[in-house]
Structure 1
Amino acid sequence: IIQKFIIVSLLPPSPLSVQYGIVLDAGSSRTTVYLYQWPAEKENNTGVVSQTTKCLVKGPGISEMNDDSWKYLKTCMDDITKHVPPSQHSSTPIFLGATAGMRLLHIKNEEASNTILQDIQKYLRSLPFNFQNASIISGQEEGLYGWITVNYLMGNFLEKNMWNAWVHPHGAKTVGSLDLGGASTQIAFTAPDDATGEDLIRVSLYGYEYNVYTHSFLCYGKNEAEKKVLAELVKRSTDWSRVNHPCYPADYSITMAASEIFDSECTKKSTPASYSPAKNITFFGGSDPVRCKDLVKRIFDFKSCQGKENCSFEGVYQPPVSGEFMAYAGFYYTAWALDVKGSNTLKQFNTAMLSFCSKPWATLKKNYEITEKHLKSYCYSANYVHTILADGYKFNDDNWENLNFQKEVNQTSIAWSLGYMLAQSNMIPAEAKLLKLPIPNSAFAGLLFVFSALTIITLMFLIITLVRFCF
């Protein structure tokens, strides 16, 4: 468990005008390659990082790598390589961080996960870049890196003032981070200074300390949680050839092998006695919003929080949420499907969810250009998002509008990968070598104007007095 997270600045100044960094976000359902760039300023190592490009690797995540996956990964890396000047290949750091998919595989088969990482490391070392690291990151680290990304992009750590000097924004407040992946979900936000516990980390950035609460719920990512929902339905069904699913749209059906549901560390405890991996299970949609909500709530353990103050679910301690939050990744895509991205009220979210979940399959296909794989599951996703935010994290009518469902900030994707690179590259100093002003830029500018005006008036008075005295 991480108790103290100090980031120090070690990067030497570079004569180059731009530097680059590459991060492979090896998620449970896919791998995304990000290329970042930043000005190589001589004055300090706090150049603002922006996203140059990104490449989505086709196929599954690295926990299910096959020959095609390797081919698609190499195609992406070839594309990324073209965006970096050849003269800077050897100085461009490259990192890979594997998240919940590999965390689950490591639990299930440690030898297999180690072999995959070794193969990945061997491949990345063969590239012309400066290989740094390829490892499985913890859920707590993933949450913290996401929080760093959000606040870095929002300019909450530092900004340039009117004299082009880096300063800590006067009165800046941090923004909470809500990340929803395929196999896990993370929450991170600044907690009161007196809050303590294993999920709180003291973070030093630019000379300021933050008490950050961050927790990751493994198996509560969107895809793994959906498997838990399917397992719940199968467990209560006597006829596997016709299992009614209230979250799937009416007039829609899908048949899948039992292994697609139960061959997971997240559902193995729910495996029925009659389980056979190859046995088919057919689900029929019902477009029933009320029953869907009840079904999704059943996969959350809220009972362990009964009688406890400041508890989300599964008995996990959580300080009360406060301030603004950025909800991204799976949270954003669900809000986008409901047409409630950005900020909205809880009532608006509920209305959109009810409307979407009431539509039959034919209407959904007509109204949305979304693949069947995702379209069939957005009602479930909407109920999942509502349940974890409202019942789990305790967002309500009063503070739901503090949630901002976004995909990017200033054309840079919101993802833990940026915070990871900043931390791994030591680009965020713990101690600040910055110009610190005791007052905001606007107030300082106002005082400067008043002082200048008084100086001019005084000089004019002296000149007039001198002229009168002489003549």
Structure 2
Amino acid sequence: MAGKALSLLPPLLLAAAGLAGLLLLCVPTRDIREPPALKYGIVLDAGSSHTSMFIYKWPADKENDTGIVGQHSSCDVRGGGISSYADNPSGAGQSLVECLNQALRDVPKERHAGTPLYLGATAGMRLLNLTNPEAAANVLAAATQTLTQYPFDFRGARILSAQDEGVFGWVTANYLLENFIKYGWVGQWFRPRKGTLGAMDLGGASTQITFETASPAEDPANEVQLQLYGQHYRVYTHSFLCYGRDQVLWRLLASALQTHGFHPCWPKGYSTHVLLQDVYESPCTAAQRPQTFNRSAKVSLSGSSDPALCRGLISELFNFSSCRFSRCSFNGIFQPPLAGKFIAFSAFFYTVDFLRTVMGLPVATLQQLEAAVVTICNQTWSEGSPGGRWPYGLPPAFQLQARAPGERARLPDYCAGATFVQQLLCRGYGFDERTFGGVTFQKKAGDTAVGWALGYMLNLTNLIPADPPELRKGTDFSSWVVLLLLFAAMPLAAFVLLLHRACSAKSPSAI
């Protein structure tokens, strides 16, 4: 009788599996045979040195959820930033056409009319607006004229404030890393307890630092209070105009012309002709501009591969002489104590990534970063080494050109860029070995670029609600219980069957 009962176990197991499959088909989940309907959004990041287009997508029925808006595609606009078209505003609009045509292909035609399109301009346009507001307005008008010719839902082109740029970058990073709220495997929202991440952005004309702080800022201009998913955040943020990578390079060039007559940050063996108009046309070099100079004159300038002199030039960019608050970063700007971990992106990432991948240097600690800076600043442009002793006892390096032939235009400036990043983090923002250990240098989080663009779109499309989300489940709880019980019973029944067969094989009566 027991043998008969046990012989029924295999059919019962098959029946249980079939019932489990039937329940899976019946539970109220999305039909996996059809892809979900998607919505799209487009943001043009009009930076100082170039413009990038990002296309985002998300499930149409989950607009107020988190962790679901991701990057669909991107496009880099050819040429300089739109601020470079001050004398030719129509060129700013025309420069966007190639990427906008790509957007027509990347976004399904039936979604064009409902796809919001934004253009946000940053520090390059902020500088132009300071020096020539009329030209800035004309550039934005020309860009608007082009953007309105496309079938998307154009919602405006504007210049972001420095505060917005920092905060939206912070929102993007923490949204992508699911630090605000997370969707659990059983379909339930919960708030992670790991806290938020600070964000550091280094663009062409400005740099931003933003992080959550427990105490009110001593300078109200540096504080933003946010309400996201029912949680309150007090955020410190500051943007340093003229401290972006490109503007720093112009300021160093102006200093090198006036102080040395050669450039200590450029590699020995490298020389070029510098047009004085290019050096002094930026508002960031206004303080260094001679009272009279020939705008069309070109000056020959050579590099000297001198890490110590290069560091000296860069140190002059930071002013620590006065602070009217309890503590400051530099230039008299209030900054509370650094808190938590940080993500550094844009030119922060590209600079450190060059040291790691092209130069093959470790940069996990501040000491290693400083050593890497000295190494790259000791590079020569051509093969071989200059005469004389090398500073810091380092051996001569191979030619810089051979390391990255595809980056020849940027190679001479990596020493200055790396030295600036190291000085900004260490002396400017006050990172020490302990806090620097919590800094990661990233270009993307998952498949999405880290920057202000996604946070900007999330804000303007209300994709991050202020109120906490309702409890949502992908599958009904009772269905989960039945499924779990069935799947737990199946291995138990299989174990009983195997045990019975083992005992039967050992029994003499079975012979």
Structure 1: state its 5+ residue gaps: 1-14, 238-242, 437-444, 454-471
Give the counterpart of 2:202 among 180, 193, 198.
180
**Aligned ranges for residues 118-267 of structure 1 at < 5 Å?**
118-169=141-192, 171-196=193-218, 197-237=220-260, 243-267=261-285
> Is residue 177–residue 187 contact of structure 1 (8 Å, CA) maintained in 2?
yes
**Which AA in structure 1 matches 2:204?**
G
**Greater Cα shift, 323-332 or 39-48:** 39-48
* Residue identity opposite 1:334 in structure 2: T
Secondary structure of the 1:145 match is helix
1: distance between equivalents of 2:465 and 2:215? 21
**Paired residues of 1:41 and 1:47 also in contact (CA < 8 A):** no
Residue 410 of structure 1 corresponds to: 446
Instruction: Name the SS for the 1:105 alignment partner.
Output: helix
Structure 2 counterpart of 1:325 = 342
Secondary structure of 1:399's aligned partner? helix
Give the match for residue 276 of structure 1: 294
Distance apart, 1:280 and its partner CA: 1.1
Question: Matched residue of 1:303: which SS?
Answer: coil
Question: Quick check: 1:314 aligned with 2:334?
Answer: no
- Deviations, residues 192-248 of structure 1 (Å, cap 9, x unaligned): 1344432011111000011000100111111111111111122225xxxxx211100
Distance 1:202 1:293 in 2: 37
Q: Which residue of 1 aligns with 2:386?
A: none
Closer, same or farther: CA 107–195 of 1 in aligned 2, 3 Å: closer
Partner of 1:441: none
More helix by share: 2
Say if 1:41 and 1:232 are closer, same or farther in 2 by CA, change over 3 A. same
Can you list the C-alpha shifts for 1:22-76, whole angstroms capped at 9, x where unaligned? 0000000000000000112258454611111110001011112366654442011
Which runs of structure 2 are paired with 1:44-83 in the superposition (5 Å)? Answer: 44-46=64-66, 48-65=68-85, 70-83=93-106
Letter of the 2:404 counterpart: Y
What residue is the counterpart of 1:101 in the other structure? Answer: 124
Q: Does the alignment pair 1:350 with 2:340? A: no
1:273 Cα offset (Å): 2.8
Matches within 5 A, 1:417-432: 417-432=453-468
- Between the aligned partners of 1:315 and 1:44, the Cα distance in structure 2 is 40
Cα distance in 1 for residues equivalent to 2:267 and 2:380? 5
Between the aligned residues of both structures, percent identity stands at 40
Q: Structure 1 residues 369-378 or 319-328, which shifts more?
A: 369-378
- Give 1:90's aligned residue: 113
Whether 1:386 aligns to 2:414 is: no
Q: Output the amino acid matched with 2:206.
A: S
CA RMSD across the alignment:
2.5
- The aligned amino acid for 1:31 is T
Q: CA deviation at 1:353?
A: 1.3
* Matched residue type, 1:388: L
Does 1:368 find its partner at 2:404? yes
After superposition, give the CA deviation of every residue in 1:379-405 in whole Å (9 maximum; x if it has no partner): 000011011110010001221111101
Aligned-partner Cα distance in 2 for 1:273–1:38: 55
What does residue 303 of structure 1 align with?
321
Distance 1:68 1:110 in 2: 18
SS at match of 2:284: coil
CA contact (8 A) 1:38 1:47 kept: no
- Which residue in 1 is equivalent to 2:310? 292
2:22 aligns to what? none
The gaps in structure 2 that reach 5 residues or longer are: 1-34, 383-398, 473-480, 490-511
Q: Is the 8 A contact 2:94 2:146 kept in 1?
A: no
Structure-2 separation of matches of 1:342 and 1:58: 33
Distance (whole Å) between structure 2 residues aligned to residue 142 and residue 323 of structure 1:
21
- Tell me which moved more, 362-371 or 413-422: 362-371
Partners of 2:328 and 2:335 within 8 A in 1? yes
User: Using a 3 Å threshold, how does the CA distance of structure 1 residues 43 and 95 change in structure 2: closer, same or farther?
Assistant: closer
| CA 300–20 in structure 1, closer or farther in 2 if over 3 Å, else same | same
Between structure 1 and structure 2, the one with the greater Rg is 2
The CA distance in 2 between the partners of 1:431 and 1:321, in whole Å, is 29
Match of residue 396 from structure 1 = 432
Q: Specify the code of the residue in structure 2 equivalent to 1:384.
A: F
One-letter amino acid matched to 1:136:
I
Q: Output the amino acid matched with 1:410.
A: G
1:146 partner SS: helix
Q: Distance in 1 between the 2:213 and 2:241 partners?
A: 22
CA distance in structure 2 between the partners assigned to 1:110 and 1:72 by the alignment:
21
The size of the alignment, in residue pairs, is: 422
C-alpha distance 44-144 of structure 1, shift in aligned 2 (>3 A): closer
Does the 8 Å contact 2:113/2:151 carry over to 1? yes
